[in-house]
C-alpha cells in the first residue's frame, strides 16, 4: 500500500486541506515508532511520525512520516509548514524547533508561534533567564489547581522584547514577547514540593498595561502553552491504548501505514467526545451496531437503505 496515497485520502476525508477557520492553536511534535526498530538497526535510524494536533478539538490535522535521526524532524516540520496552511496558523513548538529558518517561515507567512527555549539555544536561554530575574513584567497570570492529591500553582509573566537586540540570524523571526512560566507542584500527603521554570518566545505582540488584570491575549498565550501537552496526551493514547510501540513490524512502510490507521481511529473516536478511549473501544467490540452507528454518523460508512 502506498503511504502517500493513503495519507492524501485521509486528509481529504477529514477536511484538513481546507484552511483552519476556527482560529485554534495547533501543536506540532514528533514521535518515534519503536515497533519498527529491529536488532540490526542503528538506534538513530528508525521510523518516526510528525503530528499536528488542534489544541481544542484534539483532532490530528496532519501526519508526516520520517526516517532517520531525530534531527530530521526539524526539516520535516519545516516542510509541513511550507506545504500546508499551518504556516499561516497559530502553532506551538518544542525547543527542537527554536530555529531561525522555521520561525521565519511562520512569521513571514503571517502565522503566529510560541516555542519553548531550552539550553539547545544557550544564548537565548541565558538572556531570558536574566530578564526573568532583573526585568519588570508587563503582565502576569496565576492559576491554582488541586487534582489527584496534589496542588499545582502556575504563574506566567510576560516581558516585551521589542527593544531587545538579538543576533542577526533571528531578525526575521520577529521576537515580540517572552513568557516565563513558573510551576510549583505540591504532593499533599508526602508534602513534597517541586519547582520548575520554563521560557517561551512568541511573535505575538502584547501591550504594556502594567495592570493586575490580565488581557485576553495574555490568557490566550498562557493557555496555549499549557495545552501544548495535548500532543503528549495523544502519544500516550497511541502507546497505552493502541500499543503503538509494542506492535513489531519488519517492514517499515507497514509500520507507517498502521500508524495512519491509528490516526483515523483516534480522530473518529475524538468526534464522539469520549471520556475514556478504552471504554469506547470496548463498546465497539461489544456491539457492531454501536460501531456502525458512529461510522455512519461521521460519514465513514454509507447507508445503503
Residue 217 in 3-state DSSP?
helix
CA 49 – CA 33 distance, rounded (Å): 7
> What are the tens digits of pLDDT across the range 120-174?
999 999 999 999 999 999 999 999 998 878 899 999 999 999 999 999 999 999 9
- CATH code, residues 3-297: 3.90.350.10
- Angle at Cα 301 formed by Cα 297 and Cα 305, nearest 5°? 90
CB-based contact 119:197 (threshold 8 Å)? no
178 pLDDT above the threshold of 60? yes
Strand 25-32 relative to strand 150-160: parallel, antiparallel, unpaired?
unpaired
Residues 6+ apart with CB under 8 A from 68: 44, 45, 46
42 pLDDT above the threshold of 60? no
> What are the tens digits of pLDDT across the range 210-235?
666 668 999 999 999 999 987 888 88
Q: pTM of the prediction?
A: 0.88
The three grid cell numbers given for residue 301, joined into one nine-digit string: 460508512
41 pLDDT above the threshold of 60? no
pLDDT band for 244, please (50, 70, 90 cuts).
Answer: confident
Residues 6+ apart with CB under 8 A from 190: none
Mean pLDDT of the chain: 89
Amino acid at each position: 500500500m502506498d503511504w502517500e496515497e493513503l495519507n492524501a485520502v485521509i486528509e481529504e476525508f477529514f477536511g484538513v486541506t481546507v484552511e483552519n477557520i476556527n482560529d485554534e492553536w495547533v501543536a506540532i511534535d514528533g514521535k518515534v515508532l519503536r515497533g519498527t526498530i529491529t536488532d540490526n538497526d542503528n538506534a538513530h535510524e528508525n521510523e518516526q511520525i510528525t503530528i499536528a494536533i488542534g489544541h481544542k478539538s484534539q483532532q490530528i490535522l496532519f501526519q508526516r512520516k520520517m526516517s532517520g535521526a531525530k534531527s530530521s524532524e526539524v526539516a520535516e516540520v519545516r516542510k509541513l509548514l511550507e506545504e500546508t496552511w499551518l504556516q499561516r496558523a497559530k502553532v506551538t513548538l518544542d525547543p527542537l524547533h527554536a530555529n531561525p529558518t522555521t520561525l521565519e517561515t511562520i512569521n513571514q507567512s503571517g502565522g503566529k508561534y510560541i516555542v519553548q527555549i531550552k539550553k539547545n539555544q544557550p544564548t537565548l536561554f541565558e538572556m531570558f533567564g536574566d530578564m526573568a530575574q532583573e526585568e519588570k513584567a508587563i503582565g502576569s497570570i496565576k492559576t491554582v489547581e488541586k487534582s489527584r492529591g496534589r496542588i499545582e500553582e502556575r504563574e506566567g509573566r510576560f516581558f516585551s522584547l521589542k527593544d531587545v537586540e538579538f543576533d542577526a540570524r533571528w531578525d526575521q523571526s520577529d521576537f515580540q514577547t517572552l513568557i516565563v512560566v513558573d510551576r510549583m507542584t505540591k504532593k499533599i500527603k508526602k508534602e513534597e514540593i517541586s519547582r520548575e521554570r520554563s521560557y517561551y518566545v512568541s511573535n505575538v505582540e502584547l501591550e504594556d498595561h502594567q495592570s493586575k488584570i490580565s488581557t485576553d491575549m495574555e490568557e490566550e498565550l498562557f493557555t496555549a502553552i499549557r495545552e501544548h501537552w495535548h500532543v503528549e496526551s495523544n502519544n500516550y493514547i497511541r502507546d497505552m491504548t493502541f500499543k503503538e510501540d509494542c506492535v513489531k513490524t519488519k517492514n517499515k512502510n507497514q509500520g507507517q501505514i498502521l500508524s495512519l490507521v491509528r490516526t483515523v481511529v483516534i480522530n473518529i473516536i475524538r468526534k464522539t467526545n469520549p471520556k475514556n478511549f478504552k471504554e469506547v473501544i470496548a463498546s465497539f467490540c461489544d456491539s457492531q451496531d454501536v460501531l456502525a452507528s458512529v461510522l455512519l454518523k461521521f460519514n465513514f460508512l454509507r447507508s445503503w437503505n
